[in-house]
Structure formats: C-alpha cells, structure tokens
Chains A and B, each alone.
Chain A
Amino acid sequence: MLTILFDGIAYGMLLFVLACGLSVTLGLMNFINLAHGAFAMAGGYCTVIVVNRFGVPFALGLPIAFLVTALIGGLFERTLYVHVYAKPHLDQVLFTIGLVFMSVAATDYVMGSSQQFVQIPEALQGQFNVFGIGMGKYRLLIIVVCGLLTVALQLILTKTRFGSRLRAAVDDQRVARGLGINVGAVFAVTFAFGSGLAGLGGALGAEILGLDPTFPLKYMIYFLIVVTVGGTSSITGPFLASILLGIGDVAGKYYVPKLGAFVIYAIMIAVLLWRPQGLFARSAAR
C-alpha cells in the first residue's frame, strides 16, 4: 500500500518535470503544443547515446540531456513555432501532430524501433527497506531530483525578475507588452527551458516509462491531462495534478489492472466537467 504511494509519487514527480514546460507555454501563448513529448524523447535518446555509447557517467548524462534538448527546443521555437502562435487552435494541433509523426518516424529511422535502456550505475539499483516499505533507490533519486527542481522552479517564478515578467505575461499578455516586457523573448527562453526540462524528465524516466520511438504519442495524453487538470496559471496546480495522476495511475493499474488507463481518463473527464478551466485554476475573469 505505502509502496504504491511511493511509486505513485515518484511517477507523479516525473510527470510534473515532463509536463511543466508545456503548462507554461500553454498559459503564456495559448499555444497547444502536442509535440512536447518529442522533446522528452529527444532527451531520453540523448542520454542513451551519451551514456551507453560514449561511456559518460550517468550523473553527467542528465545535464547534457537538459542542455541538448533546450538547444533543440530553442532552435525549433525560433525557426518554426514562431510562425504558428497567431494561428487558430486547429492549425496548432495539426502542426504539432505533424511534428510528432515526423519525430516518431525519424527516431525509428535513426535508432531502430526497439526499446532502449539507459545503463544505470550499480549504486542506484536495488531497494531500501524502511519500516517495511520497499523503496527503489532509483525512484528515490527521482523524487529528490524532481523535488529540488520543483522548489527551484517555484523560487525562480516567485522571487526573480524574470519570474515576475513571466507571470505578468501569462496573466495578461497585452498589458505586459505595454509595460515594456519583451514577451517574445520571455517566451523563447521559457520554451527552451521547458523543453530542456522535458528532456531531463525523458532521460530520468527512460527507466520507468520505457523509451521507444512511439514515446511522444504514448505520453502526450498524460502531459495534456496534467496541464488541463492542473490549470495553466501556476506551478502548484500542475504539480498537484501530476502527483494525483501519478498515484491514481499506479494505484489503478495495481488494483484494477484490467481496466488499465480507464481510471485516469474517467477522472480527467469528471474534473473537466466540474471545473473546465482546471482543478486549481484561479477563477479570474478574462
């Protein structure tokens, strides 16, 4: 029982790191980015290549995954995404689904369609036993890393100048522009950073979520659930939503394994019916 809770929290933390970039970009630009999972996959494959082929230590592989994905994200934002912001939602959906298809096929072409594994150092394998609860070392690492990241993100968002600019831009883009905030630049940085986080999450999660070319399609739904349920106006909303989702999914798959992801979808629809703007959204009138 407690093990399930533990696994669920680790899973939820992971989902949060994967999805928080998406939630910010959605809130900021009202941009539906279904291709977010592609960046996560890029991070995962980057780690696989760096760690398995070049023998770089795992601890160094994670920051490399972050940097590489952030670079890719920034590049894509400046060259491609920039043209799509002003277009209707239908165009955004089509555009990003197109990117997902391309990334799936391209990864398949380059890396093959089989599942990839990251070599995790010996020290991180195995379990602790605390008060009869089995805790995987690797999962504990995930919780620690993701927890630290969450705190750091929250601090950046609330304490720094960039954070307040970002929040202003999310709340009301036009007024923020009027006050001289360069929303485009803020957005580009945020997008790159969010993609980097997704890449890091993909690298960390390769062990738990599995990594194969269909990753962006498989987990796209989960990211979107986090974002729609959590709302886009804060970090805490998506955070709580992803923890809930993580625990719900692990528990659902453990107790009613045959129903699979049914529980999650049902919860999502119920929440969206109850609060269409998300569970933790402020009811700010726009």
Chain B
Amino acid sequence: MPLADDVSAYLKQRARWSPLEIAFWIFAFATIWLFPGKYLIMKDTAILALFALSLDLILGYAGILSLGQAAFFGIAGYFSGLIAKYGIINEPVIALILGGLVAAALGFVTSFLVLRGSDLTRLMVTLGVSLMLGEVANRYSDLTGGADGLQGVTVEPILGLFRFDLYGHNGYVYCLIVMFVCFVIARRIVYSPFGLSLRAVKGNSLRAAAIGIPVKWRLVAIYTISAGFAGIAGALLTQTTAFCSLDVFSLDRSADLLLVLIIGGTGYLYGGLIGAVIYRFLQDWISTLTPQYWQFWIGLVLVVIVLVGRDRIGAGNEAVRNTIYRLCTRLMPRPAALRGAAPDGT
C-alpha cells in the first residue's frame, strides 16, 4: 500500500534528529567539563528540566492543564528515600526505576479523576491530590519525618561503581544521563503514531473520537507516562540530596513548573529543558540581587509573559530556531531534504 509507506516515510522524516538537536545535547554533556564549579545548580536544573518535560507531555501534547505534577514528584521522592533509608534497596538506578513505577501507578489511578470536568475542575482535582499527599506525609511523621523532612537517607554508589561525591560531579553526570534517557523515550513517544493521535485529541477531542481514536485511553496512557517521568525526577532529587521534605508536594513547586514550561514554550519537548535553564539562571541572578523578594520579579515575569502574549514570544522563538536551523542545514547539507513536504505520493 503506497499510502501507508508514504505516511511511515513522512513520520520517519519528522522524527529524524536535526543537527541543532545533536548540537544541543553535545553542549549539554560538555557542561560537565565546561563549568566544573557549578555542579549543584546544574544538577538542580537537570532535575527541573526532567520534571518540566513530564508536564510538557500532558500539557503540550494532550492539553491537560495540571497543578498537581508535584504529587508524583513527591511520592517517588519519598518512596525512593524510604527504601534507601530502611535498606530495602540501596542501589540508586533500581530505586529510581521503582520510584518511577510507583508514581506511574498513582498517575494511572488518578488519571480517571482528571478525565472528568472542565479545566477548573482538573486544576482543583490535581491540586487536591498533591495537597492530600502532603497532609498524609505530614500525618505519618514517624515514618516520613514530618516537617523536619526525611533524614538519614544513605545512597550506595551508582551501579556499585560511582559514589556520590561532595562536589556533585557524579551526581550531575547521573542526573544528566537519566534526563537524556528519559528525553529519548519521550521523543520516541511523541513522534510515534500514538503521539500524533494525542495531538489530534488535543486539537479536537470530538473529531478525534470520530475518526476512531480511543480518546479516554490515550489520555490515561499519557497521564500515566508523564507521572512516571515526574516520579523519576522526584527520586533523582531525593537521591542526589539524600533528603526529602514536605515541600516536594507544595503548590509553589507545581506553579514554578508551569512557569518553566511557559518560558521555554510547550509542545516541542525542548521547552522544558530550555525553560529550566533560563528559570534557574533568572532565579539565581535575581535572588543574589534581592534575596528576600525574588518572588516578586518571578511574578512580574509571569504577568508580562501573559500580557505580551505567549504566542508572540513563541513566534520569536520560532524565528530564532528557523534561522539557526537554516544555518545548520547550509553548513551540513543533507541529501533528500524533504522537510515539510506533504506525503501525497509525488
């Protein structure tokens, strides 16, 4: 069937790694050697980027507005902290995967709550779930440490080889690799036919249902996956800091996350990553200027972004990206550059 071949050729064409993306990741890994004094802040940035990536999956690709991503971040953070503290599993990678699975399970269960109602109901339900978990963690303070936070988490060397050192070098490399792996998985997901069907659901769920897309199950699936990614981010934070506090469930965390994603732009995966870098840089810079009132300027940034218009900022982004892309293609000409050609069989 030529049409099916054309479609799959088109999908493959779209999913190809562009030179710009490769350059991005080369630079990301180069930071290990470029900025040796900044491991701690770069590690936080990597975790934030992964967390933002998880929100982008549901917001940018499925159009679910959520203020409750912190629930998954927090539950996996506590889970991985607890199993390390009580010596059940001390190996970080396995604990990380388990943390992700626990968060994904919670995501699966709560996804049915999120599917109902309007945007506001969704906001409230997602927020309510994370706040409830926060209350539970506070209630069982003999297990979780309550307001003092979970202390005494001992993490073994990664894969039994690399210890978490004082300067955060290995921790940063670990976070970066985990983030890269998760990114590749997310990229594979959104460029698959499954990802395309999600975009259809986001565009118009009624029409998507009419052409035979099981809207409900697609949303459940992506919400679960996104919860898993958020959980991995949470587990990373606990492992690299050997600490976990109630603040992982807070509203601020989810709100900051939205800001990160908005700065970077939604729906192209790199938004969360770029946004996290800009946000951390901004936060660091402002909080050295006014340590107590940095929130004011963050708020101002949000208000200005909305008043100026996200689409306009997005358009500026697009223009820059297109220019860089053109430069890249000119420097490295590729054969059969059919970018954007419709799969009409010609």
Contacts and interface: CB of A to CB of B under 8 A. Distances in A.
Interface stretch (B83-91, B164-172, B293-301): B293-301
Given A98-B298, A101-B298, 11 more contacts: A80-B303, A93-B67, A97-B302, A98-B301, A101-B295, A101-B299, A102-B303, A104-B299, A227-B120, A228-B121, A261-B131
At the interface, is chain B mostly helix, strand, loop or mixed?
helix
Nearest to B307: A83
Interface of A: 26, 32, 80, 83-84, 87, 89-95, 97-106, 108-109, 217, 220-221, 224-225, 227-228, 258-262, 265-266, 268-269, 272-273, 276-277
Which 3 pairs, one residue from A and one from B, show the smallest C-beta to C-beta distance? A98-B302, A101-B299, A105-B296
Interface stretch (B4-12, B134-142, B217-225, B237-245): B134-142
B2 interface: no
Contact of B125 (A89, A103, A272, A277): A272
Interface stretch (B32-40, B111-119, B198-206, B326-334): B111-119
A104 B117 CA distance: 31
Given A94-B258, A221-B131, A101 B124 contact: no
A42 B113 CA distance: 35
Given A94-B262, A269-B128, A217 B251 contact: yes
Contacts of A84: 306-307
Contact of A265 (B117, B121, B131, B255): B131
Interface centre among B294, B298, B306 (most CB of A within 10 A): B306
B65 A94 contact: no
22 contacts: A84-B306, A87-B306, A89-B120, A91-B310, A93-B65, A98-B298, A98-B299, A99-B299, A101-B296, A101-B302, A102-B299, A102-B303, A105-B293, A106-B296, A224-B124, A225-B124, A228-B121, A258-B139, A260-B139, A261-B135, A272-B116, A276-B117
Contacts of B150: none
Nearest to B294: A105
A2 B305 CA distance: 50
B50 interface: no
Interface string B191-216: 00000000000000000000000000
Contacts of B52: none
Contact of A80 (B65, B132, B259, B307): B307
B288 interface: no
Given A90-B65, A102-B296, A105-B295, A95 B303 contact: yes
Given A269-B113, A273-B113, A276-B116, A32 B123 contact: yes
Nearest to A232: B120
Contacts of B346: none
B96 interface: no
B31 to A, nearest CB: 29
Contacts of B255: 97
Interface string B243-259: 00000000110010011
Given A261-B131, A262-B135, A26 B120 contact: yes
B106 to A, nearest CB: 14
